[in-house]
Structure 1
Amino acid sequence: MAMSVGSEGADDVPMSDINTTPLVDVMLVLLIIFLIAIPVVIQTVPIELPKVAFEPTTTKPENVSLSITTDPDGRCAVYWNLTRVNSGELLDRAVAKLTADIAKAGGVENMTPEDMPEVHIRGDINTPYRCIGGTVYTMQRVGFAKVGFISEPPPGMTPVRL
């Protein structure tokens, strides 16, 4: 590297060139730091997401169909098929339904996951979470392992497996 101190015999004129060597050194150090630090910061967890837009529900006669909405006064309204039930009646009906299905199968030891009835919940879009969450909790407390939600696909969409 050479350094220019000015020309000989000329007047003392200030030098107008910028020394870029320290700037390049700093940039190279920063580049090396970022190349080392970036792979440490970026951490990914390998997961396989489902490739299904939506699946049509296969309803079996033993499944429980619940509809949940809200009254104008803000109270939760739960319907077992088309019959309105309160929380006590919901619990009693769910226990009776599960007990009858277990008795029909010949006992708990004869029940397979395919034999277990499912709960399908249709919730109104304006229903508060406490209504739907309370119903899900009640059904799981009784012993229903499969609780699912029925939703409406966007208009014009056909069921397609990807």
Structure 2
Amino acid sequence: MAFASFDNKNGGAPLSEINMVPLIDVMLVLLVIFIVTAPLLSHSVKLELPKASATVETTKAEKIEFSIDADGVRYWNGQAMTREEAAQHFAAEGAKANQPEIHLRADQAVAYKAVAETLADASKAGLTKIGFVTQPEAGKQ
């Protein structure tokens, strides 16, 4: 950038020096910003936190084998029962603090209605841990 001068010798020649004043101003502004913000980054609140020990709960949930055969007969851990008796058992297990896992085994020939009724009864009792047990297909293990 050329500046006008009243000197006739170098009047038309551009300056070949970099103007350092704006660069120094920017550097000083950045330095002031850094000095002001650096203490804010390391500021922390001193707290006296309570101490507690966390232990892993070692009690495992009980497993209940619930089966429905091809005729629609329900079995609670191998004991045959009616739908009403199963609903009473579900209600008793749902009232426990540590709810059991229900492993539902249904014959492939059983009507879906029996499975749906069992799931509805378990849901009404508040049981949420229900798993379906199946057999793997031959040759796909």
TM class, shorter-chain normalised? 0.5 to 0.7
1:95 matches 2:78: no
1:121 matches 2:104: yes
Residue type matched to 2:78 in 1?
L
Shift of 1:116: 3.5
Ranked by relative contact order (alpha carbons within 8 Å, sequence separation 6 or more), the top structure is 1
3-state SS of paired residue (1:153) = coil
Shift of 1:157: 3.9
Q: Which 5+ residue runs of structure 1 have no aligned equivalent?
A: 1-59, 103-114
Shift of 1:70: 3.0
Corresponding position of 2:65: 65
1:9-56 CA distance string (max 9 Å, x none): xxxxxxxxxxxxxxxxxxxxxxxxxxxxxxxxxxxxxxxxxxxxxxxx
Residue type matched to 1:69 in 2?
D
Corresponding position of 1:79: 75
1:42-86 CA distance string (max 9 Å, x none): xxxxxxxxxxxxxxxxxx661221111232xxxx21100110111
Q: Which 5+ residue runs of structure 2 have no aligned equivalent?
A: 1-59
Q: TM-score, normalised by structure 1?
A: 0.46
Shift of 1:156: 4.1
* Bigger CA radius of gyration: 2
Runs of 4+ in structure 1 over 3 Å off: none
Corresponding position of 1:143: 126
Change (3 A) 1:61 1:81: farther
